[in-house]
Structures are given as structure tokens and as C-alpha cells.
Amino acid sequence: MASLDHLPSSFIDTIIVPVKLYRFIGLQFFDDDRARFKNYCKLILFILLSFIFSCGLILFFIKINEIDAGILEIANATPCLCLVMQSLLKLSLLRKKHLIRSVVYEIAEMWPGEMENREQKELMDNWLHRNKLICDSILKFTIFGLLIYNGVSLVIYFILRILDKNPAYVFPFELYYPFEIDSVWKYVAVYLMHILATTIIYECSYLSCDMFLFSLTVNVSMLLRLLHYDLVNIDVSRRGQEADESLANLKNIVKRHQKLLKLAEDLDRIFSAVMFTVLVFSSLIISFFGFLTIVIKGKFQQFMNLIAALEVLFSVFYIMLPGQILSDTSSGVADAAYQSLWYNSDERFRKIIIIMIARSQKPCILRAMGYADINFETFYKICGTTWSYLSVVNQMYQDSL
């Protein structure tokens, strides 16, 4: 039975949050027979909520003429539908569960134990600290964004109700309902369904996938960075037994490098389709939320849509960051090899160094199904495309007035 219990605790800490988020909806990457029935119940609830919410969004577009939806209602429903589709598509990650489990165990096998070298320990601690800091920050910002986006309309409704303003029933999402909402209890019940469905779908499917990608990729990058250190500081000698020991140490480094290159390829295979969905949907989602921020007059609604746009934008950056880090650390092996005292070594040592330098000229790259590289350059392109979409949608709206 696959388990995380025997893995290094410092490594488990880097992936435990997405694992727990998946477990919350009954999805397991690591088998747990003890909770199988409980997981089935969670999964059925998740599927039911996702189905109801998705059908409501889809029926809204089918029934546009019947419900006489305006431009702003359509503009609100479009990014929400794209987000739900993107979140559910990210569940395709489960089809590669065995490959993910293999990558996790291979990283754990290469994970450093107790380090006597102070510099290495500080290097590793810094990487782990940054990894945790970024993941915690994106998780907290996501929770904050969901609270704002889901809660503003409900708070405004009750404030106006207390002031005897007889407010309309307003929801954060535009869904079609096969029944009339004509009482407060129906409104609150449907609203709570909105909150529960969107929170579970976004956090446990959308965000957990991103966190898995980030943590696993940064862990591989950290191992590459430790390899840099070992390569730069390798003992080099031209003579006798010492030369053989230097060569053996270098060969061990080469084997580690080959394993890490394979892990980077596996990560690309696992997350390639997921990253493609990010490229397809993100610009459209951000541009519509930005458009609503510009044209809606209510300050609370503007803030709500601004938070939604920023949250999606940060999630795109969160995806692109590990790809850039992996590319930089993998290409840095060449510099580390050159900085070693190879000129003090024998010919066998120098040949291996030359091969490592040549191999590292081509960095490891995460790609979105061959469509684009996952790095900062692609992030800039997404931002540019978003601005273009926003300008077009805003201009169309102004012309329609």
C-alpha cells in the first residue's frame, strides 16, 4: 500500500497541503484502505455539487433569451464558467496518479538526510522556507479572495434588509434555477450552495493542482541547486587513488543529474495538459473580471471583481514561477561544472565535465503540450493578451451604450 508515512518529514511538509485538499473531496494519490468508504462519500458529494453548479452555469447560457440576460450578467457568467471548466479539467491529473506517485518517491529517495555541512543545510533550509512561504501566501490569498467574492453580495443584501430597503436577491454567480426564488430561506439556501460548491471546486481542484505542480517542481530545482554545490566543491586530484575517488564522486553526481533530468521530464508529462488549460482560459477570465471592475458602478462589486482578477493573475504567476526556476537551475549545472577545479584533474574527469556542460546547455523546460514554455516570458504574453481582450470587450460595451 502506497503511503507517505515513511518519507522524510521535511519533504512531506512541502506536498502535504495539496494532498490534504485532494483528500477533502475523496481523491487519493496515496492509497488508504482504512478510509475508502468515507472517501467515496466525499467524492459523491463533490461530484453532486460540481454537477449542480456546472449545470446551472451552462443552462444560464442556454436560457439567455428566456431570462433576458444583459451584457453584464453574461460578462459575469463567462469567467465563472471558464474557471469551473478549468478546475474540473485539472482533475485529469488523477489519470496520471501512478506517475505522480513514482515522482514523489523518487524525489524522496534523493532527498538529503541530516547534513553536516553548514552551507548545504542553510541552502536547503532557504529553499524550503521560500517554498512554504509562497504556498502559504497563495493559499491565504485564495481563501481571502473566496470570502470576498462569495460574501459581498450576501452581506449587502442583509445590510439593505436591515435598513428596510427591500433588496433584490443577488448572487455572486449567474446560474439558471428551475424554480423561483421568492423567499429569504430559498435565497440563503441557494447562496450557501454557491459558497460550498465554488470553495470546494476552486480550492480542492484548481488550487491543489497548482500547489502540487509548484511544490514538486521547486523540490526538483532544490535538488539541482544542491547538485550545483557538490559539483563546485568536489575534491579534484590528478594522482593515484585520490584521482579515482574524485572520479567516483563525479560519477555519482552525474547519476544524480540524470535522475533529476528524468524527473523534470516526468513533471512535464504529468502537468503538460493542465498547463495548457491555464494558457487557454486565463487571459479570458482575467479580462472579463477586469471589465466588470471597470464598468460596474458599485464599489463593493468593483472590489469583488478586482480581487477575482488579481487572484487568477497570481495563480497564473504561481504556475509560471516554478517553470522559470527549473529552467534556471538546470542550466546552472553548466556554470557549476565549469567552476569546479576541473583543470587540476586528470583526463577522465575533464571528459565527464565537458559532457555535463554540453548537456546543460539545453535547460529543462515545462511545456503546455508543446504550445508554449512555462516561464516568465509566457506570463508576460498572457498579460499582454489579457490587456488586448479587455480593450476589445470594453470597446464593444461602450459602442453598445
List pLDDT tens digits, range 267-323.
999 999 889 988 889 999 999 999 999 988 878 888 889 999 999 999 999 999 999
> Considering the domain boundaries, does residue 269 fall inside one?
yes
CB neighbour burial string for 160-189, b if at least 16 within 10 angstroms, e if fewer:
eeeeeeeeeeebbbbbbeeeeeeeeeebee
Q: Look at 344 and 358; give whichever has higher pLDDT.
A: 358
What's the DSSP call for residue 233?
T
What cell numbers appear for 352 in the block?
565527464
Q: Is residue 250 within 8 Å of 234, Cβ to Cβ? A: yes
Does any domain span residue 372? Answer: yes
Does 4 reside within a domain? Answer: no
460540481: which residue's cell? 50
What gap in Å lies between CA 45 and CA 314, rounded to an integer? 29
Confidence of residue 128 (pLDDT cuts 50, 70, 90): very high
Do 57 and 81 contact (CB within 8 A), yes or no?
Answer: yes
Beta-bridge partner residues of 80? none
Query: Model confidence at 240, in pLDDT bands (50, 70, 90)?
Result: low
* Whether pLDDT at 169 is above 90: no
**Phi (first) and psi of residue 3, to 5 degrees:** -150, 160
Does 216 have pLDDT greater than 90? Answer: yes
Is the residue at 26 inside a domain?
Answer: yes
Q: Is residue 17 part of a domain?
A: yes
Domain membership flag for residue 188: yes
Nearest CA to 259 out of 222, 220, 232 is that of 220
**Number of compact structural domains in the chain:** 1
Q: Which residue has the higher pLDDT, 240 or 133?
A: 133
Q: What is the mean pLDDT of the chain?
A: 87
- Is 2 among the domain residues? no
Domain of 266, in residue numbers: 9-400
What pTM does this model have?
A: 0.91
Whether 1 is covered by a domain: the verdict is no
State yes or no: pLDDT of 68 exceeds 60. yes
The angle formed by the CA atoms of residues 224, 226 and 229, to the nearest 5 degrees, is 115
**Rounded to whole angstroms, what are the CA distances from 208 to 93, 94, 135, 138, 271?**
11, 12, 10, 11, 13
